[in-house]
Amino acid sequence: MLAEEGEKTITEIAVEIGHSQPSVSKIIQAMTGAGLVQENRDSQDKRRNVVELTPKGIDFAKELKVQCVDVDAAINSVISEARHNLWEALEEWEFLLDQKPLLRRVQEQKKLKESKEVQIVPYESQYQSAFRALNEEWISTYFKMEEADYKVLDDPEAYILDKRGKIFVALYNNEPVGVCALIKMPCRNYFN
């Protein structure tokens, strides 16, 4: 950029190349250390830190420009030989990651993996305390616990299983993490 456009401030360079100002400052420091860039002390605006190429930097930029032609040709050669265009693939990846970030994808994969490790088993008396605790938490979160709820949760066999109902327990690493109770209700004919 300095070779083609002349002197620039660090801020102008940062904006044009899409880097942060601290990043550009480090690059300019390294280039100054290599003798490729210098501050332009003759700049009319003394409040701005303007940099320009040194004579060594100008010569290096000419060599670099020749190398860039070769690099571009080599990249185009690879693109023509490849079955897939890397640049287009990178654009596609950027688009897809904008739609759904990588962190969210990792979280979804973790959830999917964990869901495969969940085992659904029929209720046994050893799960009674988990049945009570999980239901009590759910009911208290969305409703209000009532006397009838306590009776069912204290004796699910009598109130659910003995009445031809079913209870299932979701186990994750052999620990109860969810429960579901199904109770047969009398059929009502609403069409009469």
Strand partners, 179: 169
Range from 80-94, 114-128, 139-153, 170-184 carrying the lowest mean pLDDT: 80-94
Give residue-wise pLDDT tens across range 9-46: 888 998 998 888 898 989 999 999 999 999 876 656 55
CA separation for the pair 132, 155 (Å, rounded): 9
The residue among 28, 56, 81 that closes a domain is 81
Q: Mean of the pLDDT values across residues 176-180?
A: 95
Question: Which stretch of DSSP H or E encloses residue 167?
Answer: strand 166-172
Examine the domain organization and report whether 14 and 66 are in the same domain: yes
Write out the two tokens for 18.
């899409």
Examine the domain organization and report whether 27 and 71 are in the same domain: yes
Examine the domain organization and report whether 76 and 122 are in the same domain: no
φ, ψ for residue 8 (rounded to 5)?
Answer: -150, 155
- Residue 163 domain boundaries: 116-182
DSSP string, 66-131: HHHHHHHHHHHHHHHHSSS-HHHHHHHHHHHHHHS-HHHHHHHHHHHHHHHTEEEEE--GGGHHHH
